[in-house]
Each structure stands twice: as structure tokens, then as C-alpha cells.
Structure 1
Amino acid sequence: MVAFDAAIAATFLFYLAIIFAIAVVAWMRTRTAADYYLGGRNLSPAVAALSAGASDTSGWVLLGLPGYAYLSGLEAGWLALGLCLGVAMNWLLTARKLRIFSHALEDAVTLPTYLQRRFCDSGGGLRIVSSLFILLFFLFYVSSGLIGGGKLFVAVFGVDYHIAVILGAVIIIVYTLFGGFLAVSWTDVFQGLLLTIALLVVPVMAIQVADGLDASIAAIEIENPWLLEAWHDKNGEPLGAIAIISLLGWGLGYFGQPHILSRFKAIESAHAVKSAAAIGIIWAIVVYIAAIVVGMAGIAVFDTALADAEKVFILLVGTLFNPFVAGVLLAAILAAIMSTVDSQLLVCSSALAEDIYPLLRKRAIDATLRLRIGRWAVGGVAVASTLIAMDSDSKVLDVVSYAWAGLGAALGPTILLSLYWARMTGTGALAGVVTGGLTVIIWSQIDGGIFEAYELIPGFIFASFAIVLGSWLSAGNVAEAENRYRELDRA
């Protein structure tokens, strides 16, 4: 545990004061549901890029990924490479067209609404099913952030884990309820910069304390030379095709993450996407490489093995820095957690208030009521995720892995093909969402052989086949689908 210090506590309180001040200002500017969920589509390229990156990375980049690198060494580099490729493909293939299509479709605020209007889903089945899968997997994703927050407060303040989780949930709920998307996006920029600084400063200081880069590498080699081999695991066994493909396959998940895609829809114009993409891709490369270096540096600094590898960043900060600087750097973990969980709560809120509730009531709902329902939904989803996070033995990376796969497989192929395949129909889209989501749920329950592959990969593949098959079986609607696509592509 990091020793408690008044300077650390004061730094945390100062950080929270800044965050809540931003939330209050954003609350004063939030008047409609569109403002609450997309900030009025007025994000600049820099804000959109940093907000997308910060909402993506979460606490797992400061806890889970360094912990994985601490245990597995350069094997974690495959995961970082897959994530960097995924970020680049998402910005280059998805961002601009999704901004254009969603705006042309009567300003579709949520992904389920976008899918319903993209495929003229008058019955609302596609919209409801996609919303339900979003809610299911985001319950786990939000809980992973709360698990990370719990570990942070336990390590810093020595409080009970369950109290720590509840405290983190209350902090996030309050400021998300107040400010909505504007507060989240503005604070994400601040939090994204803080996270980047922390990931750059900590490994540099750790390597310096370990007497330089050469000495650090030598210390790792003494501990376990296989940790410096990217093609072997820590036991010296070859990684194999399934392991490498599974790690690289994480990148496919980006196409289906609603909290990231919402930033694309909120960019001020399609022309601004190019500069936003450059910022977002460079930022991701820096952050993911730095996270790997943090974990590896922990091997060189600590003589004895850590009981919980996911606390390597926290313990490095507590060991290397004075209390004030440590407080700033530890606040970066809270920043990373908040920047993702708040975004995910907004997506869940929009799924309930904008997609499910109006369809179940079968009548239009005024903007004020939708906004009120959305804010209540934030609290409800957060409470459910808090209950899931109460298992103190949970690992951040494990929970993120499941949620990431579920969203990536259920929504990724459907979103991507909806932007590029003119002959795709609503039947195909529904088949893809259901097949991808169910594949992840089932695959994750089976062990051995080919089932050792990361469930996102078969889920993504099967969903893509289901989309093609479903569209082929509903060939009578192809002409209508092609006309719809051409209209949007000309927008």
C-alpha cells in the first residue's frame, strides 16, 4: 500500500474540484438530449481526438496493461500493437463516414438509432436488440473501471475495498449526471493529458532509479530472460498462432465501442476528421508503448514479486516520487477511470432513454422527459455495475477483455459494413448483432483447443458471415438498401 500523506489527499481533492467545476459549467450549457449525449456536435479535432482516446484507455491502461507487461514481458507488446492498429483503422475507416451518415440520418444521436434509420427498421427490433447488447456488456465494462478505482483507493488510503468501489461510483455518477457529454468531453481532454504525462514520467524515473536503460534490461534478464522475448511466453514456450492472433485481434474491438464512436459523431464537421485522426493515432501509440514500459520497469525496480501485478504503476509512483508529485500521478489513474466510465454511463443512459423506453411506450417523448430519464438511467446502470465490481478478486484486464469482445463482435461488423456495403439489409444487420454477441457469450464459457482464442475474433468473423447471409436471404430488400446507401454516401 502507498503510505497515506496529506499532500496526496490534497492533490486528489484539488483534482476533483477542477472536475466538478467543469461539470457545473457544462450543466449550465446543457438544455436538450442532443446536448447531453453529443454536446451539440461541436467538438474540435483536438477535443474529439483526446476525448476518444481518454474514453478508450480507462484505468486498465495504467493498471491492467502495465500489470500484464509486468507478468509477461514483451508478450504484451503484441496486445499494444493490435490496439494501435485498431485505433488507426477506426479513425481512417469509420470516423468520417459515421459522422456524415449519422448527421444525414436526421441527426441520429445514438448507435441503435443510427442503425434503425440506416436500415429503415420500422419495427424497432434492430434498435432494441443492439441497445440490449450495449447495456449487457457495458455493465461489465463500467464495473471494470470501478474495480480499478477500488484498487486505487485501497492502495492510497487503505480503506476497505467495497467502500472504495462505492466512493468511486458516487464521484463519477454525480459529475456525469450534472454535465453530460460536454462535461465528459472537456474533462476527457484534461484527463487525457494528465494520463499521458503520468505514463511518460513514471517509466523515465523508474529507469533512472534502476541505474539506466542497460541496467534495467539486465535486471529483467536476471529475473527472467524470457520476458525480453516477444515470440515466447514467460515460461519459454513459443506463443503460437492462436496466442498472437488473439492479442493482435484486440484491435478489431474498436469498430464496436459506442463510447468511442460517439466522439466521431460529435466532431464539428467531416472535414475536421483528418486532423483529429492524426492526433488520436499518435496519442494512442505513445500511451500504449509507455504502458508496456511501465510494467517492464517495475520488474527492474522491485526486488520481490508483487502480490497484485495490476498495482505496479501505483507502487512505482509511491516509491519514486514525493507525496505531492505522487498525488498528481495517482490522480491520473482516477482520471483514466473517470474518462471511460463517464462515457460508458452516457451510452447506457442514451440506450435506455433514447432507444428502449420510447419504443416500449410506442409514442414520442418530449426532450425534457428524455433528458430526465437519461439522468436517472446513469444512476441505475452505475448501481448495477457497482454490484458486479464488489468481487475484490476481480482483475481489471479480465473484465475489460470480456466487455470489449462483446461490444466489438456485436456491433463492430455491423457498423463497419453499414458504412461501406450498399447491399446490406436490416435483416443482415440484426443477424450480425445477435450472432456476434451470442458467440462471445458462448465462446467465453468453453476452454481448450481452438476455444483458447480470444472470443472477439470468432465473434467478429461469425457476425460478418451472418450479415452477408442475412442480407442475401432478404434479397428482396436489396434494391431499397442500395438506394438508401447511395443517398447517404452523397450527403
Structure 2
Amino acid sequence: MTHLIVPVMITFGVFLLAMVAVGFWTYQETLTFSDFALGGRRLSAPVAALSAGASDMSGWLFLGLPGAVYAAGLGAAWIAVGLAVGTYLNWRLVAPRLRTYTERAGDAMTLSAYLEERFEDSSRVLRLVSATVIVVFFTVYVASGLIAGGVLFEGIFGGGFEFALTVFAVVIVVYTVLGGFRAVSVTHTVQATLMLCAALALPAIAIGILGGFGALHDGLTRKSPALLDIGANAGFDGLHWTPGHSLTAVAVISLLAWGLGYFGQPHILVRFMSIRSTREIPRARRIGVSWVVLCLAGASLIGLVGIAALDHPLDNPETVFIALCAQLVNPWIAGILLVAVLAAIKSTADSQLLVSAMALTEDFYGAFLKRRASDASKVLAARATVVVVALVAYAIALSGGGVLDIVSYAWAGFGAAFGPVILLSLYWPRMTRAGALAGIVTGAATVLLWKHIDPLLGPLHSGIYEMVPGVLVATAAALLFGKLVGRPPRRVWSGPLQPKPQNTTTPGLTPPTFH
């Protein structure tokens, strides 16, 4: 690994300086709070699509997924299938209506603001609860990203983890504070391109060195035929691969269920809100889904070629990408490929940092503390909260205790808490505030408590992924309370976009429109 230090140090340095430069460049375009929060709702289709993909995948694309395939074979790729399907359905079902509805909801800048307006919640409880869920989970999520970046730096360059963590955090904070959503989205376009190139280039190079797909097939079959069986999970003991066991229906459902999480991820949904027109969405969908499919396929292939191409089995399967770069690729090319890992980690951490800061600014400061805050003061508050959230996440990352236990539920937690509620808010006109609140609370609670509930079920104990019961319980609660408790919203949300009323009956809410 020592032969990589200088090339990787130079490529990493150029990349991080370029990200800071983008922050300074977009600072001139960030004049209003809408600019800082949603880029003024003027992202083009390619930028919105690539930004959504980059903010979604994180370092998991190059560390977790290849590692899972390296250890278990093609059976682990069911998760990639679920994510690809979930991405498509999110663009198809959620993106067009959410873009339109959030504009009608008083030009809502956050999901919490949209939900409050959509369900005419004058009590503001729905906004408070949803914003709290976002801030808590995403602050820890940011800490996870900072830890991953620090570990990557330390693993390649050596030195102290704290120093590596500090450098990584400072760079993210600088360009996010300066350019806000616009800076984050522009950098995501570059990072998504790097991620795609790395996901395709590394397996192509490795397969070429092996002698083609036939040689890859033969190499995997010699290790264990189960590696190429989509219905099996090959066993890996650190030295050898064995036939393992066949995947059960519960295991396949659990892997596919990762795709359900997309409907409730605030850092992805905000990209739909920021695209400049619903007419751009079909093009963005094609770009976004194609990018995701290619990246997931490439990452899965990296895990397989690692089995056949590496000289020795890896103690940590999640280092297969780094090990292939070190063994097979020219150091300067390896530096560029490893920058893609850094880009993947950073693109998710900065998205989560910005969403957390916007929830604090718009849903707490603007909604409760200073309702008549000027646009300039809200921009200043947003920049300050970026720093505050980053400092808290940095402190969590340094201490490390208990972070991973909470982060392991975050994807499922957001998917269960917000996914059913967002879908029902877009497709069930008579859904009530009580239904939305019940869905958010029960979805999050089920995910957080499932590991304690599942073992108590005795013969029914399944080991299923928390996402599945979380989504089912949240949907049932939202439908039940949405049908029986409270009155449906009086405003009609479907149909052509109507001019915004000039008067309001409830602070912060648009009065209902009768038809």
C-alpha cells in the first residue's frame, strides 16, 4: 500500500481543493434562503438525477456491497436488485407529485413544512415530530460518514484518525456553508461521474487481467459453485468459500426490501423538490435509474473479481475495492479510483448535513423561534446550523460509542417513518393529520424496537429486515387513523396549479381551496 501514498495524496488533495473552489463559486449564486435550501428550484435533469444517486449510495457502494458479494457470492446481489427497483419507483411514483405539491404547499423548503401544509396542521405537532426525527437520525448519519472518511484517510496514509477526520469534516463544512444546496448538487455531479467510472473501470481492468469472463467464471467455480448461484449464500471463513446454504424466502425479501426505503429518504426526496420543472423528471428518471443500475452492477462485479483476482483472501471483505486497486492498477490510476470512494462517502455526508441544518433552520428557527425572520437572517441561520450539526456529528464520530447501533436502523427508520406517509399524502386525498402522525411515529418505533420484538415471537421469529415490519405497521396505522381520526384536508391538491391565496387563516398555512 505504501506505493500508493504519494499518487493518492495528490489526487485526494486536488479533489478536495476543487470541492472547496465549487463552494466559493456557488457562493455568488446563493442569494436567498430558497437558493441555499433547494438551489432556487432550478436544478437541471442531469444534475438532479446524479445528485440524487450520489447522495444515496455513499461509501457503501464501494465498501459494503462489494464486500457482501465477495463473502457470499451473487446471492448478496438481491439487495442491488431491490435498490434498482426502488430507485425507479421513487422517480416514477413520488418525484412528479412531490415536486408539484411542495410548490403548492407555500413553496415548502422541507418535508416537514410540506407535511404540515398538506394536512393543515395548525398545531404544528406534525412538523415538530417529523423535523425531530430528521435531525436526530441525520446527525448520527453524518457522524457515520465522517468516521468512514477518517478511516479511509487513515487506512491509506496512516497517521492519526483524529487528524484525518478533522480534514474531511472541515472540507465538507466549508463548501456546504458557502454554497448550500447548489454547491452540494454541483459537486455531486462530478462525484457521481467519478463513482460511475470507478464502478465500471476497476472490474473491466481486473477481468482483462484475468483473461475475460470465461476465466472469471472458471476461477469462481473452482472456489465454490455457490458463488455464481443467485439463490445461494456461499460461506466464507476467512480462507475458503463453501457451498453455504440456500437463501430462504425471508432472506430474499429482506434483501429486496432495501428498495422500500427510498420513498422516505429526505436527502433523496429533496432532489425531487429542487428540480426546475416536472417536465424534466422523465429525463432525470432515465439518467438516474441508468446510473444506479450501472453502478450497482459494477460494484457487485467488483466483489466477484476480487475472489478470483486477489492473491490471498481478505481478512476484511469490505476492503476488496482498495485491495484490487493496490494489486492490479497503476498507482496514479488507483489514486483516481480511490477518489471515487472518497466522493461516495462525502456526497452522502454533505447531503445529510444540509438536510439536518435545513430542518433546524426552517422547522425550528423559522417556524417556532422567529416566524418573521428575514430571508437574509434565515440564510445566516442556515449557515450557522450547518456548522452546529457538523460539530455535534464530529463529536459523535470522535467518541464512536453506540453510533453504529443507531445508524444500522437509519435507512429502515426513514423508509418506514416517512415512506408510507409520503406516498399516501400524494395519492390519498382524504388522508388526515392523525394518519400522518401515526404513520411516522409507529414506523420509526417499530424499526427501533424490532430487534427486541422479533425474538419474543417464538415460533414466528423470522429474522426479517426491520424495514418490512416497519413499513407494514406504519402503513396500517396511517390507513386506520387516517380513515377514522380527524377531518380530511379541505384543500384540493390535484388538478392544475392554482395561484397562491393572498390571505391566510392559520399562521404558516395556506387556507383551503374549495371546489
TM-score by length of 2: 0.90
The answer to whether 1:411 aligns with 2:379 is: no
Matches within 5 A, 1:55-204: 55-204=55-204
Find the counterpart in structure 2 of residue 490 from structure 1: 496
Find the counterpart in structure 1 of residue 288 from structure 2: 280
Find the counterpart in structure 2 of residue 215 from structure 1: 215
Find the counterpart in structure 1 of residue 433 from structure 2: 426
- Asked if 2 retains the 8 angstrom alpha-carbon contact of 1:2 and 1:318, the reply is no
Matches within 5 A, 1:6-25: 6-25=6-25
Moved more, 439-448 or 303-312: 439-448
How far apart are residue 445 of structure 1 and its match?
Answer: 4.2
How far apart are residue 297 of structure 1 and its match?
Answer: 1.0
Find the counterpart in structure 2 of residue 254 from structure 1: 262
Find the counterpart in structure 1 of residue 469 from structure 2: 458
How far apart are residue 32 of structure 1 and its match?
Answer: 1.6
- Asked if 1 retains the 8 angstrom alpha-carbon contact of 2:23 and 2:174, the reply is no
The answer to whether 1:379 aligns with 2:387 is: yes
After superposition, the Cα gap between the structure-2 partners of 1:408 and 1:331, relative to the gap in structure 1 and judged at 3 Å, is: same
How far apart are residue 280 of structure 1 and its match?
Answer: 0.8
Moved more, 301-310 or 195-204: 301-310
How far apart are residue 392 of structure 1 and its match?
Answer: 7.5
Q: Which amino acid aligns with 1:64?
A: G
- Asked if 1 retains the 8 angstrom alpha-carbon contact of 2:365 and 2:371, the reply is no
How far apart are residue 400 of structure 1 and its match?
Answer: 5.7
How far apart are residue 232 of structure 1 and its match?
Answer: 1.6
Find the counterpart in structure 2 of residue 327 from structure 1: 335
Deviation string for 1:319-343 (max 9, x for gaps)? 2222221111111111111111111
Deviation string for 1:181-222 (max 9, x for gaps)? 000111111110011001100011112222322222222222
Distance in 2, matches of 1:152 and 1:233, equals 28
- Asked if 1 retains the 8 angstrom alpha-carbon contact of 2:140 and 2:403, the reply is no
SS of match in other structure, 1:123: coil
SS of match in other structure, 1:187: helix
Q: Which amino acid aligns with 1:328?
A: I
The answer to whether 1:293 aligns with 2:294 is: no
After superposition, the Cα gap between the structure-2 partners of 1:38 and 1:420, relative to the gap in structure 1 and judged at 3 Å, is: same
How far apart are residue 369 of structure 1 and its match?
Answer: 2.1
TM-score by length of 1: 0.94
How far apart are residue 451 of structure 1 and its match?
Answer: 5.2
Q: Which amino acid aligns with 1:144?
A: S
Among 468, 474, 478, the residue aligned to 2:485: 474
Find the counterpart in structure 1 of residue 501 from structure 2: none
SS of match in other structure, 2:232: coil
Distance in 2, matches of 1:94 and 1:51, equals 16
How far apart are residue 78 of structure 1 and its match?
Answer: 0.5
After superposition, the Cα gap between the structure-2 partners of 1:395 and 1:113, relative to the gap in structure 1 and judged at 3 Å, is: closer
Q: Which amino acid aligns with 2:161?
A: Y
The answer to whether 1:438 aligns with 2:445 is: yes
Deviation string for 1:214-236 (max 9, x for gaps)? 22222222223322222121242
Distance in 2, matches of 1:43 and 1:240, equals 43
- Asked if 1 retains the 8 angstrom alpha-carbon contact of 2:110 and 2:362, the reply is yes
How far apart are residue 152 of structure 1 and its match?
Answer: 1.5
Distance in 2, matches of 1:369 and 1:393, equals 36
Moved more, 353-362 or 384-393: 384-393
The answer to whether 1:349 aligns with 2:357 is: yes
Identity %: 45
- Asked if 1 retains the 8 angstrom alpha-carbon contact of 2:51 and 2:271, the reply is yes
- Asked if 2 retains the 8 angstrom alpha-carbon contact of 1:2 and 1:314, the reply is no
Among 375, 389, 402, the residue aligned to 2:409: 402
How far apart are residue 160 of structure 1 and its match?
Answer: 2.8
Q: Tell which structure's C-alpha radius of gyration is larger.
A: 2
SS of match in other structure, 2:493: helix
How far apart are residue 472 of structure 1 and its match?
Answer: 1.9
Moved more, 460-469 or 359-368: 359-368
After superposition, the Cα gap between the structure-2 partners of 1:183 and 1:320, relative to the gap in structure 1 and judged at 3 Å, is: same
Deviation string for 1:36-74 (max 9, x for gaps)? 110000011111111111111111101111111111111
- Asked if 2 retains the 8 angstrom alpha-carbon contact of 1:48 and 1:264, the reply is yes
How far apart are residue 159 of structure 1 and its match?
Answer: 2.4
SS of match in other structure, 1:234: strand
How far apart are residue 279 of structure 1 and its match?
Answer: 0.8
SS of match in other structure, 1:131: helix
SS of match in other structure, 1:29: coil
Moved more, 228-237 or 162-171: 162-171
- Asked if 1 retains the 8 angstrom alpha-carbon contact of 2:267 and 2:352, the reply is yes
SS of match in other structure, 1:406: helix
Distance in 2, matches of 1:384 and 1:390, equals 10
SS of match in other structure, 1:487: coil
Unpaired stretches in structure 2, ≥5 consecutive residues: 236-243, 498-515
SS of match in other structure, 2:131: helix
SS of match in other structure, 1:237: strand
How far apart are residue 442 of structure 1 and its match?
Answer: 0.6
After superposition, the Cα gap between the structure-2 partners of 1:386 and 1:422, relative to the gap in structure 1 and judged at 3 Å, is: same
Q: Which amino acid aligns with 2:275?
A: I
- Asked if 1 retains the 8 angstrom alpha-carbon contact of 2:20 and 2:171, the reply is no
Distance in 2, matches of 1:468 and 1:413, equals 9
